[in-house]
Amino acid sequence: MATTKFSVPLKLSDTQQYLQDVLGPLCLVYPSLDLYRQALVLQQDTQYSFYDSLIIAGALQAVCDTLYSEDLQHGQRIRGLRILNLFIHLRLDCKKSRQRRSLSREKCEVKKGVRRAP
């Protein structure tokens, strides 16, 4: 597509360089029987879904130190792999903000002599 459909098509050499530089680093782990076996063991050990376990198995096979996920347990370590949720602080901030708004609303309503049922 890059060599024919772009308004200014890439030369073959530029396309090959793009594949090497951009896509190459993303292709460290390929599906294999070993990867699926490892995912099944992880699924049994962690109680995560098969697909979450497959992601973990891929990260382990790629020798990653950290796996970023909002779906897995923040701070958990699995065979040396650390799981981090970068959104957890946003969620906590939102929760605190909602609690503050709720408390402010309750204080205002109590001052006015009106109190809502919780």
**Residues 57, 96: one domain?**
yes
What is the per-residue pLDDT across 71-116, written as a single tens digit (0 to 9) for each? 999 999 999 999 999 888 776 666 666 665 555 554 444 444 444 4
**Residues 99, 84: one domain?**
yes
117 is a domain residue: no
**Residues 3, 37: one domain?**
no
**Residues 57, 86: one domain?**
yes
24 is a domain residue: yes
When pLDDT is averaged across residues 6-25 and rounded to a whole number, the result is: 88
Contact residues for 12 (Cβ-Cβ < 8 A; gap 6+): 3
Residue span of the structural domain in which 88 resides: 31-111
**Residues 36, 55: one domain?**
yes
Beta bridge partners of 78: 81
CA distances from 30 to 54, 57, 59, 61, 113 (A): 11, 11, 11, 10, 65
116 is a domain residue: no
Band (pLDDT 50/70/90 cuts) for residue 52 is very high
